Chain A
């Protein structure tokens, strides 16, 4: 593929985007507490870490899709990842936590499993 062809296409796409109005982000939401009660010895945390490459809208979409959250809730967690470096998304049994981490990793988010201390 000709490089100039790719370049022209990309630049024209960015021109389209530059006319978009700026996105207004909502203010801080309620505390982002994990929602499931488990014995500490049985509980694992699903943690998502910040990275410099994933698009913010993409991360919000992934949280909605994987956890079935509203856009607002997903957006709050995305912002927490963005601003604080990580967000605890779920507190679950090992099997369920593993499942969620796998789903997030399929979307290439930096998700890890941690023992609830």
Chain B
């Protein structure tokens, strides 16, 4: 996966056939209803804050629906956008699209992390996972990798790669 910064603040993303299969599988997974991670509850005795928290939770549900719609749009756009004579797929993302994609991959990453029982960093690196859990472990890694490529392109480093364990907050 290669990403290049555009003059308008967006990104041009190029994926080879294998990357596109993974990318579309992750987006399909998100769009088809893997439960979104729930935010930790922060109960408050302050009625103003309690009311605000309720509103914020409703807004999050709405926001997730908008990300699902965007995922469907990217899948369609990517499917129809092979550069000439290649099996690659190209996505031209606006700055807003890039932020939404970062949010989507992070959502998906946290959903899989939640499915795994919210392990800490050391546990994630271990090899104690069952065969049934491995897809979530790999999905977490893949989402993190896509996030890192986008972030590196935004920051102008232009390098492709994935996150290491050292980059996880403890």
Interface positions of A from 1 to 58, Cβ below 8 Å from B: 1, 3, 5-7, 9-10, 13-14, 16-18, 20, 22, 44, 50-58
Contacts of B164 in A (CB 8 A): 14, 17-18, 20
Task: Answer whether A56 and B162 are a contact pair too, CB < 8 Å, given A114-B49, A115-B46.
Answer: no
Please determine whether B148 and A57 come into contact, CB atoms closer than 8 angstroms.
yes
Task: Answer whether A81 and B37 are a contact pair too, CB < 8 Å, given A52-B121, A115-B46.
Answer: no
Contacts of B55 in A (CB 8 A): 98
Please determine whether A55 and B161 come into contact, CB atoms closer than 8 angstroms.
no
Tally inter-chain residue pairs, CB-CB below 8 A.
132
Interface positions of A from 51 to 69, Cβ below 8 Å from B: 51-59, 61, 65
Asked whether any CB of chain B lies closer than 8 Å to the CB of A70, the reply is no
Contacts of B115 in A (CB 8 A): none
Please determine whether B169 and A52 come into contact, CB atoms closer than 8 angstroms.
yes
What 0/1 pattern do residues 84 to 108 of A give for CB contact below 8 A with B? 0000000000100010011001111
Name which residue of chain A comes closest to B113, CB basis: A53
Name which residue of chain B comes closest to A49, CB basis: B40
SS of B interface (majority): helix
Interface residues on A, range: 35 or more
Please pick, from B119, B142, B144, the residue contacting A55 in the complex, using a CB distance under 8 A. B144
Q: Pick 16 A–B contacts, CB within 8 A, sort by A.
A: A1-B25, A9-B19, A9-B22, A13-B142, A16-B161, A17-B161, A20-B161, A51-B169, A55-B169, A57-B151, A59-B169, A61-B154, A65-B99, A94-B52, A114-B44, A115-B49
In order of increasing CB-CB distance, the 10 nearest A-B pairs are A13-B162, A17-B161, A6-B138, A10-B141, A112-B42, A16-B161, A13-B145, A53-B113, A17-B162, A10-B138
**Which B residues contact A (CB, under 8 angstroms)?**
18-19, 21-22, 25, 37, 39-40, 42, 44, 46, 48-49, 52-53, 55-56, 59-60, 63, 99, 102-103, 106-107, 109-110, 113, 118-121, 134-135, 138-139, 141-142, 144-145, 147-148, 151, 154-155, 159-164, 166-170
